[in-house]
């Protein structure tokens, strides 16, 4: 057994078996257990090989947040769509389903969910994240993680931390204050650790205040492991680690993928397969990089073709005394601890379920619940059953918008696009015309094959002229003139590794504007990964934001448009009118100057900024319309001895059909001595009611909702004074207010 005098990480659960295994491992074997290797099946996104002589099994990791990436699997909606439902129970359901799919595919670890705050709406991975608000993100993160792990898979909280842009993500430094970190960027990770006991945390690519996330001792050891008592393992983002000694001593536990790109999968390109067969004396990394140079994008990860810095070089550093072997033991102990916790050592994991029918149903329900009705003039929606004709227009309207590009891509067995979904819904009772209008928007899934809507081919489907060419906008305008209602489906092309424009790609904005000029009624369905500019917003009758709905896209679009379900979504991000409306609107703040992005807005992110600067958004945080009407009455606030409060509100559905609303509670200090946002989300609850139904909702406001982080004292503090409680349906639609008094300044633990 280990010498009792050997330093141990008190936060890490251990056992006699774990300590016995660590004692029997050679240094080389320990090193092999803390970096990735080659999956013999070529499927795992990350793979820690087994140690067969000691009966230690492999650990298999797989992407991603919208479904299992490596095989045919359920394609769930984008994470931002789940967030739009503002429903923690639903988040748990999706997390549990994702966990079951991971196990069903033969893996152990889900490399998700992502908790990064939407600081700049241009971020290419906005669709993978939840919100611009730390409270909403925390509640959803906790439930998703618990769902994944209750199913028996290890969840991975990513990307720790301040990975808020894709441009220059491998090198940019987020220059951010501790207060902003504590109040905005860390809370979801903190909640996932302290409340959900997440098994793994992924360190990001970027730097934080000049130090890479993989080497950031304060964040990895002081905050994550010591302050929050995190007992899982920290894994790097793929090829993110640059300095093995610094990372090892700072608190990184596992380096991924651990092998260079040309060896990552057993089967790759013929050129890289050939390079992999060369003797080790050849500069294989250099040759592979040269072979890949024609397709490598600008700003590609510089470490793609390098061996793991947790490999031979780390072993040598241990032997030279630069890294204590007890530090390596601690990393192995953390990995083993999670393998034992989740039954991986004993092959005692629960049964999984890959691409299960009940998961398809859940994917549809999440997408329907996450659809946000942004605008609905003259009750244009829901569409009438008696319509004679509909025009479905859009460059990709016949194809399901399954997701964005990158590690979140999923291949479903089948999918359905909006055009087919609407045709199926009207079942021949209404004429449905189709016009593409503008050229197809290149979609990350197009190149994969087999993911396009099975009912209509992109190359020979409707919307093409007789000569096979893409029609002009004029064809779409002509179709819009002929029908009762025109549905224009627009989309963007967000992907990991690059940021997105807030303008729709191609000529889609012109398409919407010209159709709206002639159509009797125009409905715009937005398949976008985040906020977009809407110069045509005031010219159309209705706008529905469906984000990336996943494989059930067409069914969801039809059910929302025809009112089979009430659009229950509320915006988890603010839609500004102009780029300059957002807080990070200068080059210094985004994308940064000299690879430094100044987080000069501090805690004034998202709606906090819009409120503080009195900027009118296009659509505010929390906004979303319904097909019915709600009234809030009997609002009361009860405050206790500590800075906590309970809000009660009666919600009544005064409309003529069932529907869903989200009660939102915000807190703001009335005369703060320290600059603070006018209000911040403190509690919420999603409510479903039949026509004429009512319920009384009770929402608890915790102490931290009243607090700010005092950097001088290094503590959360609630100053004495008056605080306003806002109850409403969005950050800008406040229906009731009340005041509570904090009699003395209160430091929080």
Can you name the residues that pair with 509 across neighbouring β-strands?
A: none
Return the structure tokens found at 241.
Answer: 């680690």
Nearest to 162 by CA among 709, 705, 716, 605: 605
Mind listing the pLDDT tens digit for each residue in 341-373? 999 999 999 999 999 999 999 999 999 999 999
| Domain annotation for the chain: domains and CATH numbers | 21-259+324-341 (3.20.20.300), 260-306 (no CATH), 357-573 (3.40.50.1700), 628-748 (2.60.40.10)
Instruction: Give 3-state DSSP helix, strand, coil % of the chain, rounded to 5.
Output: 30, 20, 50
C-alpha separations of 463 from 400, 427, 460 in Å:
16, 20, 9
- Left, alpha or beta for 676 (phi > 0: left; psi -120 to 50: alpha)? beta
C-alpha separations of 207 from 35, 160, 592 in Å:
21, 10, 13
pLDDT for 128: 97
Mind listing the pLDDT tens digit for each residue in 152-197? 999 999 999 999 999 999 999 999 999 999 999 999 999 999 999 9
The verdict on whether 237 is a catalytic residue reads: yes
Return the structure tokens found at 41.
Answer: 């099946």
pLDDT for 260: 83
Mind listing the pLDDT tens digit for each residue in 438-491? 999 987 665 443 322 322 333 333 344 444 444 589 999 999 999 999 999 999
Return the structure tokens found at 738.
Answer: 């009340």
Residue 6, pLDDT above cutoff 90: no
Backbone angles phi, psi at 254, to 5 degrees: -135, 130
Give CA–CA dist 481/56, Å, rounded: 68
For residue 9, name the pLDDT band (cuts at 50, 70, 90): low
Q: Which segments of 44-103 are extended strands (E)?
A: 46-48, 59-62
State what percent of residues in the chain have pLDDT above 90: 84
pLDDT for 462: 38
CB count, 10 Å around CB of 640? 10
Q: Are 204 and 161 in contact (CB under 8 A)?
A: yes
pLDDT for 234: 98
Residue 385, pLDDT above cutoff 80: yes
Return the structure tokens found at 587.
Answer: 């080059």
Alpha-carbon dihedral of residues 673, 674, 675, 677, nearest 10 degrees? -90
Give CA–CA dist 655/492, Å, rounded: 35
Return the structure tokens found at 713.
Answer: 């004292």
Q: Which segments of 28-101 are extended strands (E)?
A: 46-48, 59-62
Return the structure tokens found at 609.
Answer: 């900024």
Helix ranges (DSSP H) in 438-505: 473-482
The angle that helices 357-370 and 88-104 make with each other, rounded to 10 degrees, is: 150
CB count, 10 Å around CB of 19? 17
Q: Are 158 and 237 in contact (CB under 8 A)?
A: yes
Give CA–CA dist 266/130, Å, rounded: 34
pLDDT for 269: 64
Q: Which segments of 440-493 are extended strands (E)?
A: 485-491
Return the structure tokens found at 735.
Answer: 């229906």
Rg (CA), the chain: 26
Mind listing the pLDDT tens digit for each residue in 555-598? 999 999 999 999 989 999 999 999 999 999 999 999 999 999 99
Give CA–CA dist 656/378, Å, rounded: 16
Q: Is the dihedral of CA 203, 206, 207, 212 positive or negative?
A: positive
Q: What is the mean pLDDT of residues 663-675?
A: 96
Give CA–CA dist 524/384, Å, rounded: 17
Give CA–CA dist 18/233, Å, rounded: 15
Whole-model pTM? 0.94
Q: Are 473 and 514 in contact (CB under 8 A)?
A: yes
pLDDT higher at 282 or 742: 742
Q: Are 433 and 387 in contact (CB under 8 A)?
A: no
Mind listing the pLDDT tens digit for each residue in 10-50? 568 889 999 999 999 999 999 999 999 999 998 999 999 99
Give CA–CA dist 716/176, Å, rounded: 18
DSSP structural state of residue 141: H
Q: What is the mean pLDDT of residues 422-430?
A: 94
Give the Cα-Cα-Cα angle 383, 389, 395 (nearest 5 degrees): 85
Residue 284, pLDDT above cutoff 80: no
Q: Is 551 exposed, middle or buried (0-12, 13-18, 19+ CB in 10 A)?
A: buried
Q: What is the mean pLDDT of residues 70-89?
A: 97
DSSP structural state of residue 539: G
C-alpha separations of 472 from 476, 478, 493 in Å:
7, 10, 21
Give the Cα-Cα-Cα angle 168, 173, 179 (nearest 5 degrees): 135
Q: What is the mean pLDDT of residues 4-8?
A: 45
Can you name the residues that pair with 99 across neighbouring β-strands?
A: none
Q: Is 447 exposed, middle or buried (0-12, 13-18, 19+ CB in 10 A)?
A: exposed
Return the structure tokens found at 227.
Answer: 């302050």
CA max distance for the chain? 84
pLDDT averaged over every residue in the chain: 92
Return the structure tokens found at 197.
Answer: 């006991």
Question: Are β-strands 154-160 and 59-62 bridged in parallel, bridged antiparallel, or unpaired?
Answer: unpaired
C-alpha separations of 649 from 421, 625, 640, 660, 695 in Å:
38, 19, 18, 15, 8
Q: What is the mean pLDDT of residues 124-129?
A: 97
State what percent of residues in the chain have pLDDT above 70: 91
pLDDT for 25: 98
Q: Are 93 and 137 in contact (CB under 8 A)?
A: no
For residue 639, name the pLDDT band (cuts at 50, 70, 90): confident
Q: Are 247 and 215 in contact (CB under 8 A)?
A: yes
The angle that helices 473-482 and 508-518 make with each other, rounded to 10 degrees, is: 30
Q: Considering 32, 70, 231, 237, which one is annotated as catalytic?
A: 237
């Amino acid at each position: 057994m280990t010498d009792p005098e050997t330093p141990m990480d008190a936060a890490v659960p251990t056992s006699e078996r774990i300590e016995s295994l660590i004692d029997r491992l050679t240094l080389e074997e320990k090193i092999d257990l803390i970096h990735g290797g080659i999956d013999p099946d070529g499927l795992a996104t990350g793979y820690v090989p087994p140690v067969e002589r000691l009966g230690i099994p492999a650990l298999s990791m797989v992407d991603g947040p919208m479904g299992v990436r490596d095989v045919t699997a359920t394609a769930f909606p984008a994470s931002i769509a789940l967030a739009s439902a503002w429903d923690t129970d639903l988040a748990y359901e999706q997390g549990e389903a994702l966990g079951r799919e991971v196990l069903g595919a033969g893996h152990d670890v889900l490399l998700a969910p992502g908790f990064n705050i939407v600081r700049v709406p241009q971020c290419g991975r906005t669709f993978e994240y939840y919100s611009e608000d730390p409270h909403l993100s925390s509640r959803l993160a906790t439930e998703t993680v618990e769902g994944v792990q209750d199913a028996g898979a290890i969840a991975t909280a990513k990307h720790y931390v301040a990975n808020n842009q894709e441009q220059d993500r491998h090198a940019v430094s987020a220059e951010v204050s501790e207060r902003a970190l504590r109040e905005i960027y860390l809370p979801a990770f903190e909640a996932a650790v302290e409340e959900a006991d997440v098994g793994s945390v992924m360190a990001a690519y970027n730097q934080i205040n000049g130090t890479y996330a993989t080497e950031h001792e304060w964040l990895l050891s002081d905050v994550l492991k010591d302050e929050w008592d995190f007992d899982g393992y920290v894994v790097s983002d793929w090829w993110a680690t640059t300095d093995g000694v610094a990372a090892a001593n700072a608190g990184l536990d596992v380096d991924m993928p651990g092998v260079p790109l040309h060896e990552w999968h057993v089967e790759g390109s013929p050129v890289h397969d050939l390079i992999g067969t060369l003797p080790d004396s050849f500069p294989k990394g250099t040759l592979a990089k040269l072979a890949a140079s024609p397709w490598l994008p600008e700003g590609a990860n510089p470490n793609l073709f390098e061996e793991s810095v947790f490999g031979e070089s780390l072993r040598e550093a241990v032997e030279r005394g630069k890294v204590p072997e007890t530090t390596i033991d601690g990393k192995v102990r953390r990995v083993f601890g999670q393998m034992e916790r989740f039954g991986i050592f004993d092959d005692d994991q629960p049964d999984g379920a890959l691409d299960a029918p009940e998961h398809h149903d859940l994917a549809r329900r999440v997408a329907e619940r996450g659809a946000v009705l942004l605008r609905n003039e003259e009750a244009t929606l829901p569409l009438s059953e008696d319509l004679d004709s509909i025009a479905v227009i859009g460059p990709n309207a016949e194809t399901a918008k399954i997701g964005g590009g990158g590690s979140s891509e999923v291949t479903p067995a089948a999918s359905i696009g909006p055009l087919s979904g609407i045709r199926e819904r009207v079942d021949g009772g209404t004429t449905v015309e189709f016009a593409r209008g503008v050229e197809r928007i290149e979609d990350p899934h197009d190149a994969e094959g087999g993911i396009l809507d099975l009912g209509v081919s992109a190359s020979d489907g409707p919307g093409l002229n007789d000569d096979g060419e893409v029609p002009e906008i004029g064809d779409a305008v002509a179709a819009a003139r002929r029908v009762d209602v025109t549905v224009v489906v627009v989309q963007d092309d967000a992907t990991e590794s690059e940021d997105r424009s807030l303008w729709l790609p191609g000529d889609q904005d012109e398409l919407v504007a010209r159709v709206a000029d002639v159509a009797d009624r125009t409905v715009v369905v937005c398949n976008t990964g985040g906020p977009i500019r809407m110069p045509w917003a005031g010219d159309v009758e209705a706008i529905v934001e469906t984000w990336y709905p996943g494989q059930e896209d067409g069914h969801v679009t039809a059910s929302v448009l025809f009112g089979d379900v009430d659009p229950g979504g509320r915006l988890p991000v603010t839609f500004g009118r102009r780029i300059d409306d957002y807080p990070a609107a200068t080059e210094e703040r985004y994308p940064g100057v000299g690879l430094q992005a100044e987080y000069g807005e501090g805690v004034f992110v998202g709606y906090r900024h819009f409120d503080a600067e009195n900027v009118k958004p296009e659509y505010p945080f929390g906004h979303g319309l319904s097909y019915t009407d709600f009234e809030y009455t009997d609002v009361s606030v009860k405050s206790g001895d500590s800075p906590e409060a309970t809000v009660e509100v009666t919600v009544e559905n005064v409309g003529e059909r069932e529907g869903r609303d989200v009660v939102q509670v915000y807190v703001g200090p009335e005369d703060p001595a320290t600059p603070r946002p006018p209000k911040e989300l403190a509690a919420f609850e999603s409510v479903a009611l039949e026509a004429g139904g009512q319920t009384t909702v009770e929402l608890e406001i915790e102490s931290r909702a009243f607090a700010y982080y005092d950097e001088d004292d290094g503590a959360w503090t609630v100053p004495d004074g008056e605080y306003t409680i806002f109850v409403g349906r969005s950050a800008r639609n406040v229906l009731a207010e009340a005041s509570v008094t904090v009699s003395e300044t209160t430091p929080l633990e």
